[in-house]
């Protein structure tokens, strides 16, 4: 996905790209795709909770933190960690921003009533992402289908957060019979339901099968440097406070989330909010999730690698900074 434009209200200090303007010493620089709901707590943390004498920056995108060494923290789905880790032994995951559950939305007009009816159907997914991974696992493990029993229609431009959705997006494709079902990041699936009408929508979900981990990661070099580690811990402490608000008082921030992400209406956000957990920290089963998903990623012949071991995956997780963030300053 390509990053969208930043909303007009974001202060200049939060949008100066460190690729051009290096941040002052001891200020935090955080990168994530701002269009995603899971990225919005990072902006709120910088604006409301992270305190530093120097300016902090938010980079809208997911740049290479090894090439752009001014960036202290990057956030994205665990799939990005799995793609980067084999060639970046110094990558370190330090916390989870959110845990996100997926749904498959099908159109009854494609003669789909039960999950068995997904056989032989065309399913829209975002390729090489957690969208495709969830659909792959659901169809195989829950429905019992083989690869040839369905067709993935893959596109990077399928997302749509606000109706009406244009040609080429998943809601439009589902409404016009280009695909029979879709699975994508929220709020696209919710918008798809609204586009085809709730009476025409069939929703398939299995929260115990898989959840995306939106993680925050940095480099060992950043953590080994006392100054940058101090600011990383300080930011994680700020993020902890934001996650508490997102989890316990969501109605207070829906309008702000919508503005930050240039995303869905507060009505749609209210509908999809239960699909996201803002728990933070490092889940006990993180290595299990990474290990299982990496089996799927390593099947890509273009990568020319085998799956990573559990020990290798565990070496990329550092619980120290998060534990420090739970201590009082």
Instruction: Please report where in the chains the tokens 């209200």 appear, as a residue.
Output: 9
* Domain span at 302: 12-99+212-325
73 within 8 A of 30, measured Cβ to Cβ: yes
Q: How many angstroms separate the Cα of 236 from the Cα of each of 34, 52, 221?
A: 18, 13, 17
Nearest-CA neighbor of 162 among 153, 172, 154?
172
Whichever domain contains 258, its CATH number is 3.40.190.10
Please give the DSSP secondary-structure letter assigned to residue 153.
Answer: E
Same domain, 81 and 121: no
Domain end among 169, 204, 239? 204
Same domain, 112 and 83: no
Token couple for 260:
């930050």
Same domain, 145 and 183: yes
Nearest-CA neighbor of 218 among 98, 321, 289?
321
Same domain, 67 and 89: yes
Q: Give pLDDT tens digits along the chain (329 positions).
A: 333 333 333 333 333 343 344 444 568 999 999 999 999 999 999 999 998 777 789 999 999 999 999 999 999 999 999 999 999 999 999 999 999 999 999 999 999 999 999 999 999 999 999 999 999 999 999 999 999 999 999 999 999 999 999 999 999 999 999 999 999 999 999 999 999 999 999 999 999 999 999 999 999 999 999 999 999 999 999 999 999 999 999 999 999 999 999 888 999 999 999 999 998 999 999 999 999 999 999 999 999 999 999 999 999 999 999 999 999 77
Give the per-residue pLDDT at 26: 61
Same domain, 95 and 109: no
Please give, one letter per residue, the 3-state secondary structure of the chain. Answer: CCCCCCCCCCCHHHCCCCCCCCCCCCCCEEEECCCCHHHHHHHHHHHHHCCCCCCCEEEECCCCCCCCCCCCEEEEEHHHHHHHHHHCCCEEEEEEEEEECCCEEEEHHHCCCCHHHHCCCEEEECCCCHHHHHHHHHHHHHCCCCHHHCEEEECCCCCCCCCCCCCCCHHHHHHCCCCCEECCCCCHHHHHHHHHCHHHEEEECCCCCCCEEEEEEEEHHHHHCHHHHHHHHHHHHHHHHHHHHHHHCHHHCHHHHHHHHCCCCHHHHHHHHHHEECCCCCCCCHHHHHHHHHHHHCCCCCCCCCCCCHHHHHCCECCHHHHHHCCCC
Q: Is 94 helix (H, G, I), strand (E, B) or coil?
A: strand
- Residue 192: CB atoms within 10 A of its CB come to 32
Give how many domains the chain has, as a whole number.
2
d(CA 174, CA 171) in angstroms, rounded, equals 5
Give the per-residue pLDDT at 97: 98
> What's the longest Cα–Cα distance across the chain?
60
Token couple for 69:
């060494």
Residues 6+ apart with CB under 8 A from 246: 41, 253, 278
Instruction: Let me know if residue 6 belongs to a domain.
Output: no
Give the per-residue pLDDT at 27: 87
Instruction: Let me know if residue 4 belongs to a domain.
Output: no
Domain end among 152, 176, 204? 204
CA 133 from chain centre, in angstroms, equals 13
28 within 8 A of 55, measured Cβ to Cβ: no
Same domain, 113 and 129: yes
Cα–Cα–Cα angle for 97, 99, 315, nearest 5°? 70
Same domain, 86 and 233: yes
Instruction: Let me know if residue 24 belongs to a domain.
Output: yes
d(CA 159, CA 125) in angstroms, rounded, equals 10
Give the per-residue pLDDT at 6: 34
Same domain, 156 and 247: no
Q: Is 191 helix (H, G, I), strand (E, B) or coil?
A: helix
């Amino acid at each position: 996905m390509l990053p969208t434009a930043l909303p007009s209200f974001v202060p200049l200090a939060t949008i100066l790209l460190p690729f051009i303007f290096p941040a002052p010493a001891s200020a935090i620089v955080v990168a994530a795709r701002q269009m995603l709901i899971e990225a919005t707590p990072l902006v709120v943390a910088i604006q409301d909770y992270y305190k530093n004498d120097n300016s902090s920056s938010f980079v809208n995108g997911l740049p290479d933190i090894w090439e752009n060494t001014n960036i202290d923290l990057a956030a994205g789905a665990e799939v990005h960690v799995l793609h980067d880790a084999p060639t970046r032994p110094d990558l370190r995951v330090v916390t989870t921003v959110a845990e996100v559950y997926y749904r498959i939305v099908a159109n009854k007009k494609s003669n789909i009533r039960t999950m068995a009816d997904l056989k032989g159907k065309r399913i829209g997914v975002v390729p090489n992402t957690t969208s495709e991974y969830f659909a792959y696992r659901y169809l195989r493990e829950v429905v019992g289908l083989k690869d040839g029993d369905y067709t993935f229609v893959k596109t990077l431009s399928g997302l749509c957060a606000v109706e009406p959705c244009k040609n080429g997006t998943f809601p439009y494709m589902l409404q016009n019979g280009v695909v029979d079902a879709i699975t994508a990041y929220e709020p696209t699936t919710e918008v798809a339901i609204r586009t085809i009408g709730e009476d025409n929508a069939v929703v398939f979900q299995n929260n115990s099968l898989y959840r995306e981990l939106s993680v925050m990661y940095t480099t060992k070099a950043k953590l080994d440097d006392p100054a940058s580690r101090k600011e990383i811990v300080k930011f994680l402490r700020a993020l902890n406070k934001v996650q508490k608000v997102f989890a316990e008082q969501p109605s207070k921030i829906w309008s702000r989330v919508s503005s930050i992400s240039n995303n869905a209406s507060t009505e749609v956000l209210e509908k999809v909010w239960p699909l996201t957990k803002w728990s933070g920290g490092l889940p006990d089963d993180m290595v299990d999730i990474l290990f299982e998903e990496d089996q799927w990623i390593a099947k890509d012949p273009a990568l020319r690698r085998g799956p990573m071991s559990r020990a290798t995956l565990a070496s990329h997780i550092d619980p120290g900074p998060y534990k420090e963030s739970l201590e009082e300053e």
